[in-house]
């Protein structure tokens, strides 16, 4: 009986999350409401509150899921390659490809929806979400350390953060159509940066 109830709860949460995702995509979080999400899910507004306290919690849950999937893709890409340089290139490409193919999750991850700010998610949720992002970035950090074992922890952190900033910038150019305007592609920009990074790490 408990297993059946647990399955029912999981299915109801999934139904609400999928409905919210469609509403966020079509209307943005600012125009979204629990009423609209409930209507999309085919339930009453009262049926949502036992699972989520508002649209911000739903947003945070969708982002949490996205970061878990991103971690899996990046970590698996790193694990497939034995040498540090190859693992760094593979995991960085996996990060880029994940968000390049998923504009909704890119917008989630970078809080690009009108009406949502990190502060609106609450300190506890923001802290948990940030820890999940750091978990992803630490895969890149491990690869950097494998490629350049002589780097200090501080230097590894700086390279990791610089790589994250570059990936974020390239993805922004791609999703705003700016790469076409300047006559390049996201893949070319990433390849150039990774080649420069590897040369620096091997010095």
| pLDDT in the model for residue 148 | 96
Matching residue, tokens 């999400």: 37
Sign of CA dihedral 113, 171, 57, 20: positive
Q: Are the C-beta atoms of 115 and 167 separated by less than 8 Å?
A: no
162-180 mean pLDDT: 96
Matching residue, tokens 């947003």: 59
**1-52 and 55-202, same CATH topology:** no
The percentage of residues in the chain with a pLDDT greater than 70, rounded to a whole number, is 92
- Domain locations along the chain: 1-52, 55-202
> 123-152 burial, b if ≥16 CB within 10 A, otherwise e?
eebbeebeebeeebbbbbbbbbbbbbeebe
User: What would the two tokens of residue 52 be?
Assistant: 């989520």
Does residue 39 register a pLDDT over 60? yes
Q: What is the pLDDT of residues 116-150, one digit of tens each?
A: 665 567 788 889 999 999 999 999 999 999 999 99
| pLDDT in the model for residue 2 | 47
Q: What is the pLDDT of residues 98-113, one digit of tens each?
A: 999 999 999 888 876 6
Q: Are the C-beta atoms of 17 and 58 separated by less than 8 Å?
A: yes
| pLDDT in the model for residue 118 | 57
Which has more pLDDT, 28 or 199?
A: 199
Q: What is the pLDDT of residues 49-77, one digit of tens each?
A: 999 999 989 999 999 999 999 999 999 99
Q: Which fold has domain 1-52?
A: Arc Repressor Mutant, subunit A (1.10.10)
Q: Which fold has domain 55-202?
A: Tetracycline Repressor; domain 2 (1.10.357)
Q: The whole model's pTM is what?
A: 0.90
Across the chain, what does the average pLDDT equal?
91
């Amino acid at each position: 009986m408990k297993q059946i109830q647990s399955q029912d709860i999981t299915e109801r949460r999934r139904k609400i999350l999928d409905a919210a995702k469609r509403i966020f995509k079509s209307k943005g979080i600012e125009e979204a409401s629990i009423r609209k999400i409930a209507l999309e899910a085919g339930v009453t507004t009262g049926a949502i509150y036992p699972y989520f306290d508002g649209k911000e919690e739903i947003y945070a849950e969708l982002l949490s899921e996205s970061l878990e999937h991103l971690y899996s893709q990046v970590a698996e890409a790193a694990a497939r390659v034995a040498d540090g340089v190859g693992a760094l290139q593979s995991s960085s490409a996996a990060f880029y490809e994940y968000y390049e193919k998923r504009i909704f999750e890119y917008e989630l991850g970078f809080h690009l929806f009108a009406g949502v700010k990190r502060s609106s998610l609450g300190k506890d949720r923001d802290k948990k979400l940030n820890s999940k992002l750091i978990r992803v970035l630490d895969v890149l950090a491990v690869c950097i350390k494998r490629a350049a074992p002589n780097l200090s922890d501080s230097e590894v952190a700086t390279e990791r953060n610089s790589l994250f900033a570059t990936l974020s910038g390239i993805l922004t150019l791609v999703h705003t159509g700016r790469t076409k305007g300047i006559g390049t592609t996201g893949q070319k920009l990433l390849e150039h940066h990774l080649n420069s990074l590897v040369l620096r790490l091997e010095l």
